[in-house]
Every structure is written in C-alpha cells, then in structure tokens.
Amino acid sequence: MKKLCFTLFIVSLCLVTKSQGNNYIQNYHKFEGLALTPPMGWNSWNKFACNVDEKLIREIADAMISSGMKDAGYTYINIDDCWHGDRDSKGFIHPDPKRFPSGMKALADYIHSKSLKIGIYSDAGSQTCGGRPGSRGFEFQDAMTYAGWGIDYLKYDWCNTEGLKAEGAYKTITAALRKAGRPIVLSICEWGNDIPWIWGQSVGHLWRTTGDIYNCFDCIIDHGTWKAWGVMQILDKQEGLRKYAGPGHWNDPDMLEIGNGGFAPGENRAHFTMWSMLAAPLIAGNDLRTMSKEIKEVLTNKEVIAVNQDALGIQGFKWMVKDSVETWCKPLKNDEWAICFLNRSTRPKAIKFDWKKQEVTDTIFLKQLNAAANVYNLKDLWTGKNAGNTQKELDTILPPHDVLMFRLSK
C-alpha cells in the first residue's frame, strides 16, 4: 500500500510539474495579419530628435490629414526617442510629465479619433540611444503599458545592449507583446549587425538592414565609432536581401529624409522612387506642418506609392548598370512591372533602351517581362502621362541624380 501511494505521489508530482512548466512557455511569434504591405507613416526623429511633446504630435496628426498624406495611405504617427519620464516604484514607465502632461493614453485616443495609428519607441538595452530608460528587464511591464495606452507600433532600438544577443532580446519583447494581447507592429531596429533578415521574419514585421540614414543623397558621415549613410549608400547595402522580404516581413532601409533640406528635386524623386522599388516602409521624417507643395507632391504621389504597396510584396532588384545609370525592376500583380532608371552620375546621361531586346527574369520569384512576346503600355509615374508602349525604343536624356519610372501593363 505504501509503495502504491508513493508511486501515485510521484505521478501526481510529475503531472503538476509538467502542467506548471507549460504555463511558462513563451510565444516568440509576432502577431500575424499586420503590415501585409510596407508600413506607411511618420516618425519624429529625423526632424525633431529629442524635441518632442504632445502638442507637436497632435499638430503632426492634424497635418497628416490636411496635407493629404492620410488619403495617400500614411497611417502611423510614431513618437521616437525621448518621450520617456521615470519608472515608478513598481517599475512601470511613464511619459515625461512636462512634455506629455495629458498622458500617452489621451494622445493615443486623439490620434485614433483621426482614424490614424500611434507608434512609440523603446530600446532592448538599459537605456535608449537618447539616454532615457530602456526596456531591458522591464519588457513585460512595458508591453502591458503600451497595450493599455493603445499603442499600434513599436520601434525597438539596440543601444546600450552589452552582453545581449539580438535574436533573444527581440524574441523577449515579442513574447511580452503577445502576452499583453494587443496586436502591435514590431519594428526591429538592430541596424543589421546580427543579420535580422535570417531570424526576424517570425519575430518582427520589419527590420533595419543598415545603420542610420543621413540627410545626404550620396555621402558617408563618419562619427568615429559609427557611420551614417547617404541614400545611395543605403541603397547599395540592400544587395542580396530581397529574398527575405514579403507581406508581413520587410527589409527596412531606414526612414525617409525627403523634406529635411539638402536634396535637389530630382534627388527627392529618386529617394522616394527607390524606397518604393525596394518595397521599403515609407516613414516620412519631415515637418508635415510646413512642407512645401513640391515636397508634398513627392510624398503623396499615389502612382509611386501603389508600386510600393503592391499586394505581391516583391522587392525590386537592380537588373542592369550602364554608364552610371542603373535599371531597376519590380514585379507587380496582374503581370505588371515597375521599371526605374536611376542616374547616379552628377551629369546628364543618355538612355537608349529597346524594350523588345531586353528580357527581364526574376529568378527568385519566377516572374518574367518579355516585351518581344508581349506589348506593354507605359505610364510615366512622375509626370502621370502615358508614354506609349514597348514597341518603341526609349530614347531620352536623364538629368543627374534623377529617375525615370514607368509602370508596364499588357
């Protein structure tokens, strides 16, 4: 009898232990059904850095609507670093009471009332890049807080992460977000150091592929311990990454610098065009309240945005380079294509392109553009005009640091 009781006790103990263990299994998989096309929105960092407060964010939300940005597809109002106040005695984070006196929930409610979504920022380390409280050790509390505020998007940075491994740290915040229960887009801002495109597809919805962008078309800024990259430098760093991108998981070459000065009109078009060809997130970083008509026309070009937001979610690729002119191709739904000519030279370049002699094959996604077998109509996406069809050779001059962009349909 004693032997039987002891056996039953051991079996019961094993069952209880197993049951308790199952309670602690974490879900390291992101929320599905989010960011099925590249996220579009606005972020405070490029223009305002740490100078953020609730008045600015409300005004930006208003301007997103009045400028036509919302109608063009922009959705997220993302507050970057420096919104943080202190943690309370239980470890819960609070916004800076001077900058956000109404609280983050009230701000989220305001943005939601405009049929927009709100994003926020934190860091996997002990401190953010701006020296505010990071989420290390507080991941589950922070996720609960963000869910309670009504946050829709989290940019999660990688400063002050001594001893951490990126994949594990980002899985922790993903598990925390899942536990909190509110579907939130997770932007992995790890700068591409730990090849997040390999492991990030199940963990986050987008991942940075490079270090920070700089407001320059073609340059590198060396800060000693790190570098900031111009638009063309970041473009080059996307080589070989397209196979990892698709609906719900995007390569992120960083935010747009359009409207922050320093770019010629053609460079603004080229920046926006190439990010659209890359199926990159379109996160504006300028002051929407004061942007010029010309900048607004670039950021709200619905024809170019449609290429970025195409339902296939295929990232474009560089197909040919000739005399400083790159030819980029992007398969679209309904057997259509986007074709872009990018002049990287500081001089005008002549383009002669016989469509019927150029057979384009996407060997990764098995798409083919054969203008010898099919006639495609051409639409110039920056002039908005029909440009004939592929039976006629393209013969034109492309200005320096500018683009020609066509949509081809049978």
Beta bridge partners of 126: none
Tokens (6 digits) for 318 = 């560089």
- 212 flagged as catalytic: yes
Question: Residue 303: which H helix or E strand, with range?
Answer: helix 302-308
CA distance 268 to 274: 10
- 86 flagged as catalytic: no
Pairing of strands 377-380, 250-252: unpaired
Q: Are 355 and 364 in contact (CB under 8 A)?
A: no
Tokens (6 digits) for 17 = 């232990």
Query: Which position among 81, 123, 152, 157 bears the catalytic label?
Result: 157
Q: Are 146 and 120 in contact (CB under 8 A)?
A: yes
Phi-psi region of 262 (alpha: psi -120 to 50; beta: other; left: phi over 0): left
Q: Tell the residue number behind the tokens 């308790």, with chain if given.
A: 20
Q: Which amino acid makes up residue 303?
A: E
Q: Is 379 helix (H, G, I), strand (E, B) or coil?
A: strand
Query: Which position among 81, 123, 212, 252 bears the catalytic label?
Result: 212
What are the phi and psi torsion angles at 56 (to 5°)?
A: -60, -45
CA distance 267 to 345: 11
Phi-psi region of 378 (alpha: psi -120 to 50; beta: other; left: phi over 0): beta
Q: Which amino acid makes up residue 112?
A: H
CA distance 376 to 386: 12
Q: For helices 139-149 and 166-180, what crossing angle results, to 10°? A: 40
Q: Which amino acid makes up residue 335?
A: D
* Number of other CB atoms surrounding residue 90 within 10 Å: 6
Q: Are 351 and 360 in contact (CB under 8 A)?
A: no
CA distance 116 to 67: 14
Q: Is 333 helix (H, G, I), strand (E, B) or coil?
A: helix
Q: C-alpha distances in angstroms, 57 versus 48, 120, 364?
A: 11, 11, 41
Catalytic residues: 157, 212
